[in-house]
Every structure is written in structure tokens, then in C-alpha cells.
Amino acid sequence: MKKMLFVIVTIFFAISAQAADVGVSVTIGQPGFYGRIDVGNFPTPEIIFPRPVVIAPAPVGVAPPPPVYVHVPPGQEKNWKKHCHNYKACDRPVYFVRNQWYDNVYVPEYQARHGRKGGKHGGYRGDDDRGQRGGKAKGPGKGKRD
């Protein structure tokens, strides 16, 4: 019984430790974002392949859905069948935009239109209210006074 309890507690703490390992949240219009992008009124995107990639074509007699533009980490476009489900894009034509175009054209234009700050950390470089060190305010420490 003690062994079983030990195993359960160990698994609980292992899962909790993984859940606590949270990184910086990156959203569309920031460098480092991967996913679908809307290129509606943006400059013409530079794409990796001249034709869209289709994993699951539309059934015969059904009009294919419009293509989507996707920014993916380098290499995922080469094995799209393995990664398309992460972007919910297996059932539609996909154009892959070049990383350089995304970073140098799309991101600045998106930020200019939406008034967002740039940078890999979403513009949060000390201009937040999380204390002087940029982390959670933790007080002076155990047994110490200001």
C-alpha cells in the first residue's frame, strides 16, 4: 500500500513540475509565432512552394476550400502530413510563408496596424508591474528586512 501511494505521489509531482514549466506566450504579429496568418490587405507574401500543399483533397464534386497561409517552424513544411493537424489545416490547400517575409514584412505591418509592441517578449521588457527584476515580487527573503 505504501509503495502504491509513493508511486501516485511521485507521478503527481512529476506532472505538476511539467505543468509549472510555462514559457512566454507569443501571439500573432510577433516574431516566433507559428500558425495561420491572415494576409488579406498585407503585401504579397513570399511563399516557400509555388503551389499549395494539400493533404486531404476535397471530395469529388465539392468545391475546395480557399487556401490558407501558414507560418511554420523550419522543416515542418517538408513533412506537412505529420504536422498539418497541429494547425487544423489537413483538409485545405496551404501556402507556407517564408520566415524572412513573416519577420521583416508581416510582423512590422501587423504591429503598425494593431498598435502592438514588438520584440520576442511581446514588448514586456520591464514596462510591466511585476517588480524590479521582471519576475514575481517575492519580498525581501526569509529572515531579511528592507
The three cell numbers of residue 23 are: 514559457
Whether 132 is covered by a domain: the verdict is no
SS3 96: strand
pTM equals 0.62
Chain-centroid distance, C-alpha 13: 27
Provide the number of structural domains found in the chain: 1
Whether 99 is covered by a domain: the verdict is yes
Indicate the Cα dihedral angle 33, 112, 125, 70, nearest 10°. Answer: 0
Rounded-to-integer distance, Cα 84 and Cα 38, Å? 17
The domain in which residue 93 lies consists of 36-57+66-122
In tens digits, what is the pLDDT along the chain, a chain of 146 residues? 666 544 454 444 444 444 443 444 456 788 889 999 998 888 899 999 999 999 998 899 999 899 999 999 999 999 999 999 999 999 999 999 999 999 999 999 999 988 765 444 444 333 333 334 444 445 555 655 54
Provide the pairing of β-strand 94-96 with 35-37. unpaired
Whether 118 is covered by a domain: the verdict is yes
